[in-house]
Amino acid sequence: MSFTEPAGRPGTVDYQSPQSRSEPWLNQAATIDSEAAQYFLVSARCGCFMQAARSLNVRSTLLRKQLAQLEQQLQRSLFSFQGSALSLTREGQQLQARLITLAHERKLPVIEQPLIRLAIAESILHDILGRDLIALLRRNASLRLEIIALDSELALRAVSADIVLWLAPGECPNPGPTFSTSEPQHLARIAYLPHIAKRYSRVTARPETPEDLADFMLVQWQHDRQIESFRLWNELVEQRLAGVVQMQSYELMLEMIRCGACIGLLPAYMSRFDRGLIALPGLFAEPMQLHAWLAVNTDSQNSPEIQALIDLIQQTFNERHEWFQP
């Protein structure tokens, strides 16, 4: 009598892996296009199509289309949603494991992004361009961007960058970068006025002459001390024996004006940027203003990534043109 059970009956030991016995479709993994494989692996790792698209620097619609074509090619569903969470199906997990194994042999390409160095006047970065740069980063998580804040003329002369956005006192771009650039482009004329927070200033008690400022705390950004066109404001601050704060941080100066009942010199557009601030015109006889200029390093001007960032900067200033009207 034989005690060997027929193949397939319970208790039979089968040393073949389930994958090799019942998943022949996985053999197609070796023939998947490298780009489609990368789209799948990044989506599986991120667990979010939107974040995967940002990481790959592609539109989410293109990513979803590529993944749909991959599922059609394999005749398998690779992703599923559990509530609002994206997860891999059983077949998706199997494909992920197989592709990770193959990746050591296939050397799936990593697309290197060029480093873009943007040197920008600190006030423009904070007030005008900051929000659009953040929106750019939300759309493109693979971007390599170095932002250099320019807080002095010395910093401008010492910097080396692909794109430079700076402030100059006159209608010519000097002083400007010391390296070779394209012809500087004039972006805007920016007027400057003393500002105070609305909640600390009743209309009937707002100062109308420099003498009226005696009862107010003044705050000065140290960078402004170098600017000749701010001479009247700087002289007023320097003459103060009390009631004055000088600081290196532009953002902290803004907070002093917003929350500290201080008066400080700010771009005239600031009441559009922050509705809680109000300008105090007429305090000084001479206008105070600077001009915004844009230039590109001649070694970088043909790069499409550089041009895309320049287009963003120009669009931002065009959209805010009303900010710079007299």
C-alpha span between 177 and 173 (Å, rounded): 9
Q: What's the pLDDT at 3?
A: 36
pLDDT of residue 14: 40
- Residue 268: inside a domain, yes or no? yes
Question: CA-CA distance, 19 to 79, in Å (whole number)?
Answer: 19
CB 46 within 8 Å of CB 67: no
* Same-domain status, 52 and 194: no
Range of the domain at 76: 18-106
Q: What are phi and psi of 27, to 5 degrees?
A: -65, -20
Number of domains forming the structure of the chain? 2
Q: What number of other Cβ atoms are within 10 A of residue 83's Cβ?
A: 6
Is residue 306 in a domain?
Answer: yes
Residues 157, 187 share a domain? yes
What mean pLDDT comes out for the span 306-314? 95
pLDDT for the residue numbered 105: 56
* Co-location of 290 and 185 in the same domain: yes
Residue 12 belongs to some domain of the structure: no
Q: Are 144 and 113 in contact (CB under 8 A)?
A: yes
Give the model confidence (pLDDT) of 182-210 as tens digits: 999 999 999 999 999 998 877 667 888 88
Residues 308 and 189 in one domain: yes
Work out the widest C-alpha separation in the chain, in whole angstroms: 118
Model pLDDT for residues 136-146, shown as the tens digit of each residue: 888 887 788 99
Backbone angles phi, psi at 93, to 5 degrees: -65, -40
Query: Could you tell me which of 166, 227, 159, 146 has the C-alpha nearest to residue 192?
Result: 227
Check: CB of residue 154 under 8 Å from CB of residue 176. no
In a domain, 1, yes or no: no
Dist CA 287 CA 179 (whole Å): 31
31 found inside a domain: yes
- The Cα 220–Cα 253 span in angstroms is 7
The domain boundary, picked from 106, 130, 163, lies at 106
d(CA 204, CA 209): 14
66 and 163, same domain (yes or no): no
pLDDT confidence of 219, banded at 50, 70, 90?
very high
pLDDT of residue 203: 67
DSSP per-residue codes, 159-190: ---SEEEEEESSSS--S--SS-BSPPEEEEEE
The Cα–Cα gap between 289 and 167 comes to 10
The tens digit of pLDDT for each residue in 232-247 reads: 999 999 999 999 999 9
> Same structural domain for residues 82 and 122?
no
- Asked if the structure places residue 2 within a domain, the reply is no
Q: What is d(CA 300, CA 111) in angstroms, rounded to the nearest whole number?
A: 19
CA distance linking residue 126 with residue 124, whole number of Å: 5
CA distance 150 to 168: 12
| Strand ranges, E, within the chain | 79-82, 85-88, 115-121, 144-150, 163-168, 185-197, 217-221, 244-247, 262-267, 277-279, 288-296
Shared domain check, 306 and 287: yes
Please report whether residue 180 resides in a domain: yes
- Least confident interval from 56-65, 197-206, 243-252: 197-206
Q: How far apart are CA 75 and CA 181, in angstroms?
A: 54
pLDDT of residue 249: 93
- Two structure tokens written together for 71: 């599922």
Residue 7 inside a domain? The answer is no
Q: Smallest Cα–Cα separation from 206: which of 286, 284, 285, 280?
A: 280
Question: How many whole angstroms separate alpha carbon 56 and alpha carbon 20?
Answer: 33
How far is residue 127 from each of residues 1, 232, 271, measured CA to CA in Å?
Answer: 91, 24, 11
- Domain of 98, CATH number, reads 1.10.10.10
Identify the CATH number of the domain in which residue 160 sits.
Answer: 3.40.190.290
**Threshold 0.85, pTM exceeds:** no
Q: Are 43 and 63 in contact (CB under 8 A)?
A: yes
Q: What percent of the chain has pLDDT over 90?
A: 55
pLDDT score recorded for residue 141: 77
